[in-house]
Amino acid sequence: MNDPAVTAAATRVLEKARAHGRKIATAESCTGGLIAGALTDIAGSSDVVERGFVTYSNEAKVEMLGVSETVLAAHGAVSQPTVEAMAAGAIRRSPADLAVAVTGIVGPGGGTLQKPVGLVHFAAAVRNGRHEHQERRFGDIGRSEVRRRAVLVALEMLEELANK
């Protein structure tokens, strides 16, 4: 993703995490690894980026992150409970100090009245148990743009947590 705003945000995340001696993991569904990719595009990121989980399918969310099948059945893949379980799973299944997770409907198609195209859920977690959730409704602005904006929000959340 050759985007100056994404590069700047990723650089800030790495600098702040490095300054506090923190490692990062990502758990990505709709962004398909773009958050980890943005971070690892920066030279020297290996001292901060611990790992990335690309869990596009529900099966991957269960197997790789330990998301409960019950949570997925009750709330769906695009939901606050699922994204929070993804972030918690990334912390549990890695030595990272911080994790960010994202799941959404980027389109085209696939949306419903309750979960429209452009709906993205984010969660960030810290090993000490602190976590945050955000829901964004970007609208049907195109698959690439929803994903780009999701990367920016995820990086902002990581930057905020890396600072604390």
Q: What is the pLDDT tens value at each position of the chain, 164 positions in all?
A: 689 999 999 999 999 999 999 999 999 999 999 999 999 999 999 999 999 999 999 999 999 999 999 999 999 999 999 999 999 999 999 999 999 999 999 999 999 999 999 999 999 999 988 899 999 999 999 999 999 999 999 999 999 999 87
Whole-angstrom distance, CA of residue 56 vs CA of residue 47: 26
Q: Residue 5: what pLDDT?
A: 97
**Cβ-contact 75, 1 below 8 angstroms:** no
Domains of the chain, start order: 4-162 (3.90.950.20)
Whole-angstrom distance, CA of residue 51 vs CA of residue 33: 10
**Cβ-contact 162, 13 below 8 angstroms:** yes
- Which residues have CB under 8 Å from 112's CB, separation 6+? none
Side by side, the strands of the sheet bearing 49-54 are 49-54, 24-28, 98-104, 119-126, 131-137
- Which residues have CB under 8 Å from 163's CB, separation 6+? 16, 20
Q: Residue 128: what pLDDT?
A: 87
**CB-facing half-sphere around the CA of 83: CA atoms within 13 A:** 26
